[in-house]
């Protein structure tokens, strides 16, 4: 069984695109699935992007209202520059703030903190799992390149388990067409501007890394304040994936 990490906005996009409730329930209803942004699926989750946000959430009781907290540290305005440069300290401090609560933390350090996936591994960013219950390997930028994706997930999972043998590993997946621009196995016969991720690519990446992680963060991004460079939501690859896994 795949443990899905997903936003409720993504589930709504799938429902609006015609995915049956039976499929959505089969995929996301189990309490083992962290779902952030509200809704009636899975268990409630929240996303924290800085020490300051974690401190505020701990003070106002937000951690008591969710089962999971994704600590999403990236090279973006939501994470102060000092915290981007001191990733391990940032995760340690956030973990200390969350310790009095029963929330399960999921570390999700982004590749852009290091620049490339090779540097992500060289900096051992997956070892942030020392302080958390789970780790999301944000490998989605390489999902059209199966060998790179598999190598990244395999090595990052090994780094995480070296410091936390019981860590639950999620693998990043996205429907964002930007990851298909440099082709790989994402419609290489088309001009870059017309390439898209496909459901077959997502399924292949899931299957080829299943021995390294039981979870997956399924992203269906859309243009907005959190992702100003994203295209409009494109759920079709996720629809194909879910119907293949759970039926129509």
SS (H, E, C) the chain: CCEEEEEHHHHHHHHHCCCCHHHHHHHHCCCCCEEECCCCCCEEEEEECCHHHHHHHHHCCHHHHCCEEEECCCCCCCCCHHHHHCHHHHHHHHHHHHCCCCCEEEECCCHHHCCCHHHHHHCCHHHHHHHCCEEEECCHHHCCCHHHHHHHHHHHHHHHHHHCCCCEEEEEEECCHHHHCCCCCCCCCCCHHHCCCCHHHHHHHHHHCCCCCCEEEEECCCCECCECCCCCCCCHHHHHHHHHHHCC
CATH fold of 3-246 reads TIM Barrel (3.20.20)
Looking at the chain, the whole-number percentage of residues with pLDDT higher than 90 is 84
* Amino acid 157: pLDDT: 98
* Amino acid 2: pLDDT: 96
* Amino acid 231: pLDDT: 75
* Amino acid 38: pLDDT: 87
* Amino acid 178: pLDDT: 86
pLDDT tens column, 31-56? 999 999 988 999 999 999 999 999 99
* In the chain, where the domains are located: 3-246
| The model's pTM | 0.95
Which residues in the chain come in under a pLDDT of 70? 183, 248
* Amino acid 93: pLDDT: 98
* Amino acid 123: pLDDT: 98
């Amino acid at each position: 069984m795949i443990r899905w990490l997903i936003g409720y906005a993504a589930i709504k996009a799938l429902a609006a695109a015609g995915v049956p409730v039976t499929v959505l329930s089969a995929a996301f209803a189990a309490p083992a699935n962290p779902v952030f942004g509200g809704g009636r699926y899975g268990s409630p989750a929240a996303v924290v992007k800085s020490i300051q946000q974690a401190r505020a959430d701990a003070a106002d009781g937000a951690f008591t209202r969710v089962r999971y907290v994704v600590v999403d540290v990236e090279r973006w305005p939501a994470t102060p520059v000092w915290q981007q440069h001191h990733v391990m300290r940032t995760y340690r401090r956030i973990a200390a703030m969350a310790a009095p609560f029963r929330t399960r933390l999921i570390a999700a350090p982004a590749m852009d903190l290091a620049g490339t996936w090779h540097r992500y591994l060289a900096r051992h960013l997956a070892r942030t799992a020392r302080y958390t219950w789970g780790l999301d390997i944000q490998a989605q930028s390489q999902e059209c390149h199966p060998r790179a994706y598999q190598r990244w997930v395999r090595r990052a999972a090994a780094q995480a388990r070296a410091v936390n043998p019981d860590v639950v590993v999620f693998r990043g997946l996205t429907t964002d067409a930007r990851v298909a621009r440099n082709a790989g196995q994402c419609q290489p016969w088309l001009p870059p501007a017309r390439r898209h991720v496909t459901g077959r690519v997502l399924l292949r990446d899931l299957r080829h890394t299943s021995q390294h992680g039981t979870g997956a963060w399924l992203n269906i991004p859309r243009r907005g304040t959190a992702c100003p460079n994203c295209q409009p939501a494109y759920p079709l690859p996720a629809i194909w994936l879910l119907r293949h896994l759970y039926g129509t």
